Amino acid sequence: MKTLTDTFGRKFPYIRLSITDVCNYKCTYCLPQGYKKTPGDTRSFMTGEEIVRLTKALSELGVCKIRLTGGEPTVRKDFFDILKDMKQNSNIPKVTMTTNGYRLNKIAKQLHEFGLDGINISIDSLNRETFKKLTGHDRLLEILEGIKILQELNFKNIKVNAVLLKGINDTYADFEKFGSFIKNNEIDFRFIELMQTGDNLDYFKKNHVSSKIFRDYLEKNDWIHQTFGKDAGPSLNFIHPDYKGKFGVIAPYSKDFCKTCNRLRITSRGDLRLCLFGNTGISIRHLLQNDSQKDELVDLILKQLHLKKESHYLELGETGLTKNLSTTGG
């Protein structure tokens, strides 16, 4: 089997696949003014048929995990059709998703029934008013209800992500509150360092805080570092004998963060991105129009891997094509 391997020997069994740029939240660090179409870009989002053709080709390249992202993937009216087709026809063992939790309490049972293998839910604060201020929506209680429904269905792979923000959720008291949340819940909770993008420089300068403060908290409270499999994401994970849940840290500004990179990205309009903060992207959509193009598609993806850089150089202020994180799923 051909495999996705770059010139630095890194393998890529994990794909983050955006199926829409549209998001119905107004998160202060991502889309504070809400979603707006990119001026001059008249291309539609990939169809369900194109997505299934793509995932079939990726399965032949050793991809064993695809995460559906956005925007907010569930705003697509055909979201469940896409999920069903991928589970039945793509030969990808793990299909997961990242969501803002919108309507989670309404669709949790469907997600379970359609065979979703894992879910990442964005919850930047467990304080209802703070959550509303950050997202523009008073939906925290509905999201927590949705998580409870998933747990009652014995849905195992539940992760909660929070962007670490100065003065919002970066104190030991905040960490204790999240700790109480996972103490008796089998949930992986991960803090993600705020990343600079093309349009958030002022916000980044004001609100970025190093994840070291959270790692220091974990060390002082006897959390133990744990390793995961080849298709795991970039999180450093920690367990504690007194907690059912786990803590994690995603620190893109840390030294050697890119050495263990194992994922590629594909945008909702069918562009292959070798890095979240890369300067180039190539359209592969023209090779998703019929099944006979699969071999040509595979060859094109393999050739592009030779262009992948060793690092994202985010620490140097390079943000590449990423204006905000809604366009490539973060």
Query: In the prediction, which pLDDT does 4 show?
Result: 95
Which pLDDT belongs to residue 319?
A: 47
Determine the distance from the C-alpha atom of residue 66 to the mean position of all C-alpha atoms in its chain, rounded to a whole number.
Answer: 10
Structure tokens given for 306: 């030779």
Partner residues linked to 139 by β-bridges: none
Predicted local confidence at residue 71, as pLDDT: 93
Q: Both tokens of residue 139?
A: 């939906």
**pLDDT recorded at residue 183:** 97
Using pLDDT thresholds of 50, 70 and 90, give the confidence band for residue 176.
very high
- Write the pLDDT tens digit of every residue in 291-330: 999 999 999 999 998 888 777 555 545 544 555 555 665 5
Q: CA distances (Å), 224 to each of 178, 193, 219, 227, 239, in order?
A: 17, 20, 8, 10, 5
Average pLDDT, the chain: 90
**pLDDT tens for residues 222-273?**
999 987 665 666 788 999 999 999 999 998 777 677 788 899 999 999 999 9
pLDDT of the residue at 325:
59
pLDDT at 83: 97
User: Is 158 in contact with 186 (CB distance < 8 Å)?
Assistant: yes
pLDDT for 111 equals 98
Confidence band (pLDDT; 50, 70, 90) for 185?
A: very high
Nearest CA among 283, 290, 278, 257 for reference residue 322: 278
Residue 187: the pLDDT is 97
- The answer to whether 123 and 131 are in contact (CB under 8 A) is yes
Please report which confidence band the pLDDT of residue 133 belongs to, taking 50, 70 and 90 as the band edges.
very high
Mean pLDDT of the 195-213 span? 88
Residue 161: what pLDDT? 97
In this predicted model, what pLDDT tens digit does every residue of 50-76 receive, in sequence order? 999 999 999 999 999 999 999 999 999
> Averaged over 165-186, what is the pLDDT?
97
Domains of the chain by start residue, with CATH: 14-316 (3.20.20.70)
Question: What pLDDT shows up at residue 320?
Answer: 46
